[in-house]
Structure 1
């Protein structure tokens, strides 16, 4: 599914994100379709990846269910392979990025000689992909368009983006969720390297929203061989959509002005789809079952689900 074109009874809003199509019903419920669109460097690539939406939606459903004892989440029903129905929350305008290892953006910052990221001081003497002594939280602003921007805890509180009490609770939830994510990953022979969480609020209750622990929102390493690769200074074997970014960079695209997305051939599309299915099976330990649902059947199932809430 490249995009959805539904119009539900009592629909009050529609938002099309880079990957998700989000319908608001009666300003109370949300229907989130995870499309097969794929983005990298904040650019939506021109061709969809078959079953990518199903992979992301089903991983998120499994992980949200596995963490609901830590923090309540928005999910009420997963009626379709690539759709979830749940509570509409007032979203906090920050993303809680948490990092267990020095990699990605943190490593690029560190390699440039800087030791402070989002107000957090990183220790000296680390190599790429080393563990931090304890996980660090490096929040970003939540941009509807363009790039998310790094921001510090103090800046978030001082600017009033999030109250001090709420932000402290978000930090506690973030670290507890990351710990659970690491435990779940370890059972699968994986290391949860970094990830992000988004939260919302209804009344005084904070809810975990969106997706968690998916290959689009998280980075995983294989635990087997990790120490040997670190000692040898070799790149870690990753389980994330980083391979798509690497392919784009190899072909001269990093989302910068004037750059053109390289041709996505049928063979490349199939390889990415297969890689996402492999990610699903590695992360969850379950066999992936391809499911196709006709638009009319999908619409009916969503309407029936909304009536039951």
Structure 2
């Protein structure tokens, strides 16, 4: 069996029973279950949701995206072996830790397979909730160009690249293009201040102005839980993105929950502690892959300049990366997952067939 066979690249063609179009993102595909199947599973499995709550099957893939493009390798490798299982395992671990620490639930109700979550429909907060403990990446680039105000927060002079910030910073940005919000440009991923959110909380899908403080608390406390756990492994939690939404539980209580993924190498920067103390940065996150791409192509501006998106898409489409590049990325993802969870990430021989069998035999969701 070739490595390419062990990669789940296409995840939107599973024969899961649904009466809605499959929503396929950069990495995950979402299958909304029929109303009858949602009601049946809620009853059979005792999920803590309303009896008529819409449920979905969320299937992760091994695809890798960077700079808003999907990348592929030589010899038919359409993704990174072990990446999907590693991401899910890490998120599952942190979501469980959040619950144990009394923070909040997540959108996940059940985990039938390492690639699969059964989730409840949530009303998403339209914010990419970003927390930063160190100055690096886009924030450092802006700081080096003279910017000192980030999302309404003033940052002191004299900071150096990759140093720890005086305090944990919340630097939110928009999720999707939001029209008609004063002082917020209608473009995806634009930085916003707390005042922007307070003045227009309903436009960002907050139920009340008080929930802004609640989301900030969940963000900071969640960051703290992960940061402390990683510190015990001599790993540094540099920065991360969380997403939040509202759901209603079986008793009719509306609650703010964590959703999407948390504390993964895709959504966070994680550095090796020992290397950092020696003045070096060793990434245990997707940033390593981004840097690799920037070094691999002769004109890195194509990857950094949003005005050159057509050229960037062509670059990703027309260039198969060397297989060793994708295997190096695989090692980063699986190694950090195994460190965090204490469990081995095993490559499935045929992940698609496994998923279909489980969803057929244990959940009766395959036509």
Q: TM-score, normalised by structure 1?
A: 0.90
Structure 1 residue 16 displacement after superposition: 0.7
Equivalent position to 2:81, from 38, 50, 69: 50
- Farther-moved stretch of structure 1 (102-111 vs 168-177): 102-111
Structure 1 residue 225 displacement after superposition: 4.2
Separation in 1, partners of 2:245, 2:363: 21
1:51-108 alpha-carbon deviations (Å, 9 max, x no partner): 2111111111111111112111111111111111122111111111000111111111
Equivalent position to 1:301, from 342, 355, 358: 358
- Farther-moved stretch of structure 1 (70-79 vs 177-186): 70-79
1:163-197 alpha-carbon deviations (Å, 9 max, x no partner): 42222210010000001011110111111010111
- Identify which of structures 1 and 2 has the higher relative contact order when contacts are C-alpha pairs closer than 8 Å and 6+ apart: 2
- Say whether the 8 Å CA contact 2:284–2:333 is kept in structure 1: no
1:143-177 alpha-carbon deviations (Å, 9 max, x no partner): 28x95222222112323313422222100100000
Separation in 1, partners of 2:64, 2:176: 17
Structure 1 residue 44 displacement after superposition: 1.6
Q: Secondary structure at the match of 1:184?
A: helix
The answer to whether the aligner puts 1:151 opposite 2:184 as a matched pair is no
- Say whether the 8 Å CA contact 1:64–1:73 is kept in structure 2: yes
* Alignment-derived partner of residue 65 in structure 1: 96
Structure 1 residue 280 displacement after superposition: 1.7
* Alignment-derived partner of residue 120 in structure 2: 87
- Farther-moved stretch of structure 1 (250-259 vs 181-190): 250-259
Structure 1 residue 275 displacement after superposition: 2.6
* Alignment-derived partner of residue 2 in structure 1: 9
Equivalent position to 2:258, from 208, 215, 226: 208
* Alignment-derived partner of residue 290 in structure 2: 245
Structure 1 residue 239 displacement after superposition: 1.4
Larger radius of gyration: 2
Separation in 1, partners of 2:144, 2:353: 52
Mapping 1:161-240, distance limit 5 Å: 161=204, 162=206, 163-203=208-248, 204-229=254-279, 235-240=280-285
CA RMSD of aligned residues (A): 2.2
* Alignment-derived partner of residue 148 in structure 2: 115
Q: Secondary structure at the match of 2:243?
A: strand
- Say whether the 8 Å CA contact 1:42–1:147 is kept in structure 2: no
Mapping 1:118-133, distance limit 5 Å: 118-133=151-166
* Alignment-derived partner of residue 182 in structure 2: none
Q: Runs ≥4 in structure 1, deviation > 4 angstroms? A: 303-308
- Say whether the 8 Å CA contact 1:77–1:305 is kept in structure 2: no
Relative to structure 1, the CA distance from residue 303 to residue 97 in structure 2 (aligned partners, 3 Å threshold; closer, same or farther) is farther
- Say whether the 8 Å CA contact 1:195–1:218 is kept in structure 2: yes
Equivalent position to 2:339, from 258, 282, 291: 282
Q: How many residues are aligned here? A: 302
- Say whether the 8 Å CA contact 1:78–1:85 is kept in structure 2: yes
